[in-house]
Amino acid sequence: MNEQVGNRQEWIRTLLQCPQCRSVLLSYHDREVRCEECKHYYRLIWNRCVFHDDISVSHVDYNRRSFPLSLRFIEKIKRKGGLALNIGCGAQPENMDFIVDFDYILCPNTDVVGDGHALPLRDGLFNTVLSLNVFEHLKTPDRAVQEIQRVCKPGGLLIIHTAFMQPHHDFSHFFNATREGIREWFTPFFSELACIVSPNFTVEKTVAWMSHDFLNMVRKYCPKATVDRYENMTLRELERVWKDLYSDNAQELYKLIRDIPDEAQGNLALGFEFIGEKKIRKTVG
């Protein structure tokens, strides 16, 4: 097993480049990787290259759990042929010879650790690139799209899953995208073959997830009478609230939950109000 892992890592290293200067002149030492062009150093952890400086990633995460890549995606990759890149692979139960597993964190079967905004991989390597439930966690999605198109071969296949009507679910959850937003990101570089609601994103799951998080919030911050009121409420009652936001019933419901902290409400809020003041730049001299 160790020999197989070692052989896989030798192969993976033939695909890498420095994410800083894009040089392929990398040298490998006991605990670090060095770019011979720009002299930047990267860490080696458990014989895996870690191409970012986040010190919170300092060991192999054996506790993380992820869904294995679904058979329908594996079949698409096989039909396309060649090599695939799985960006944000998570904790895959096993590696496959035709898929490179990439993530920001290090799990036992992660091939390469790095930042999706600056992929440490050579140009035009992959016949398929997939990234599932990652783009909502990227600070600059446009940069990540540029990187994906760089490492994807001409005519290569792209598979993306990303959030639209999902509650805030992680400290690094930055963006939810509409269908139009996804097209804005990708269609400058990829011809659209489909942009659909996939089976894991169907509308009843939206209502279920929102309801779950909302009721848990009410249970945490509100008295039992309020909890009982909301737990026994029907969708029809909620619909009436939306139809007339200024009705007595709507105002009553607002009063029941108005003391829930803003930080907690922010995970499910319809929107946000931002008020700012332009920074004053200090002049020198």
Comparing 30-34, 43-47, 256-260, the range with the smallest average pLDDT is 256-260
Whichever domain contains 93, its CATH number is 3.40.50.150
**Tokens linked to 44:** 């080696």
pLDDT tens figures, 132-149: 999 999 999 999 999 999
Last residue of a domain, one of 200, 220, 235: 200
Rounded average pLDDT over 28-57: 95
Over 50: is that where the pLDDT of 257 sits?
Answer: yes
Is residue 284 pLDDT above 90, yes or no? Answer: no
Q: Tell me the CB-side half-sphere exposure of residue 122, using CA atoms within 13 A.
A: 11
Report the distance separating Cα 203 and Cα 216, nearest Å.
20
**Alpha carbon separation from 154 to 25, 64, 97, 189, 194 (Å, rounded):** 25, 34, 22, 10, 18
* Two tokens, residue 82: 């060649």
pLDDT in tens, 204-245: 999 999 999 999 999 999 999 999 999 999 999 889 889 998
Same domain, 215 and 117: no
What backbone torsions phi and psi does residue 3 show, to the nearest 5 degrees? -65, -40
Please choose, from the candidates 95, 141, 149, 98, the residue with its C-alpha nearest in 3D space to the C-alpha of residue 121. 149
What pairs with residue 96 in β-bridges? none
Task: Based on DSSP, count helices (H) and strands (E) in the chain, helices before strands.
Answer: 9, 9
Task: Give the orientation angle of helix 224-231 with respect to helix 203-221, to 10 degrees.
Answer: 160
| Residues 120, 102 share a domain | yes
216 and 131 fall within a common domain: no
Q: Structurally, how many domains does the chain consist of?
A: 2
Say yes or no: 241 and 142 in one domain: no
Report in angstroms the alpha-carbon separations of 59 from 4, 47, 54, 108: 21, 11, 11, 10
